[in-house]
Each structure stands twice: as C-alpha cells, then as structure tokens.
Amino acid sequence: MFKIKAYFQLVDLEERIKCFKNKNREKLFVDIDDAENMMKIINTTDSRGRSKFNFDYVLVRFLIKYNRRDIVNFYSPGDDTDLWYQYLCLIEDFFKHNHAESSYGLEYYDMGIENLDDDQLHFYIKLEHEYDNEISAILPKKDFLQELIKALKYFLRKMEEYGVFERQIQLGKMNLTDQTDLYNRIEQCEMYTEKL
C-alpha cells in the first residue's frame, strides 16, 4: 500500500546544474539504497582534499506513495537538511495532541497531520500563512504512521551503515547519546502506533 523512500540530493554543483537545465529532478537525487552513489556523495572532497559532505547541510527528500499514487514526489515542494527529523517531530506531536504542524523544507512550507477519526488522518503540505494545501491526502492512520516511522528508522540505519553518524561525532556535531536518543524516540513512536 505505502512506499516511503529517502533520497539525498547530489552534492556536486555541476551535476545539479545539469539536472536543473535538463528539467530532470529525478536525476538530482540518489536513493539511499544506492551504496555506490551514496558513498560518492559522502566521500566528496574539495580541491584541498577536505570532505565536502556535511550531514547538517545535505538535502534530503522523502517520496511518499499510497496505492501507486504520488503523495510527495520529486516535483513536490520541500527538500531540507533535516527533513527526516521534521517528520519525527511531527509524528511525536501528533501522538501528543492528535494533530500537528511543523515547518517543511527550506522553502517556507508547513506540513501537518490532522486526526479525522479512528481510522483516518489528513496529511498536508502548504505554504506558510496560506490556507490552500499544495499536497493533501486522506490516509489510513495506523498504516501511514507505521510506514513513516519504519522509513525514518531505516534512514537512520542507513546513515549509521554509511558511517555518517561516526563522522558527525568526529566533527563534534553529535555524540553517541544523540544517536541512542533518536532510536529511543522512534521506538516510542512505534509503541504508540501499536495502540492505534
């Protein structure tokens, strides 16, 4: 039913410009399961041999499909450096308040989840301070939340597998407690979804 997949935006500026000129946004992103290209992004260096990769600045996109229908795709608004974290906070707020809204991406968008009934929720993305939704979908509550949480957990595991967290720890931008805290927060969300 659901397919939620994470992608990293290419770091190389020349390749990004080529993708924009050709109006081919799909080529602008790399699937996080594409180990070869992910390692190219992570190991990109400047002319002095210093790493250009910084987890705090790499743009991430999550594609969301439901019953083969695109909810969020490559042409939807919103890429961000911590989009995965924004989704996590949105889910946590939803469990606390039965609705949630937070910033989405770098382009002045908000995303939200509203509880409709015991089985459904409304997921939307809109420009800040606007009433019309750019993206709007009525989705099965439990399935959507479970799949989104599963995608976030998978994203973190892939970042760990690629050595991203280790690199962040070396740069002093993260510590082992932060990593453990993220997994604990995701597990907490998993426990909440089981009660739905």
pLDDT category at 57 given cuts 50, 70, 90 is confident
Q: What is the pTM of this model?
A: 0.88
pLDDT category at 42 given cuts 50, 70, 90 is confident
User: What does the mean pLDDT of the chain come to?
Assistant: 86
Instruction: Tell me what pLDDT residue 41 has.
Output: 83
Please compute, for residue 132, the number of CA atoms within 13 A of its CA located in the half-sphere on the CB side: 1
- Name the residue among 105, 94, 78, 106 with its Cα closest to residue 145: 94
Residue range of the domain that includes 176: 2-194
Q: What are phi and psi of 183, to 5 degrees?
A: -65, -40
Q: What are phi and psi of 35, to 5 degrees?
A: -55, -40
Give all strands (DSSP E) within 128-187, no chain letters.
133-140
pLDDT category at 68 given cuts 50, 70, 90 is very high
The two three-digit tokens of residue 192, written as one number:
């909440």
pLDDT tens-digit map of 70-110: 999 887 876 666 788 889 999 999 999 999 998 887 678 88
What percentage of the chain carries pLDDT values higher than 70? Answer: 90
Our count of domains for the chain comes to 1
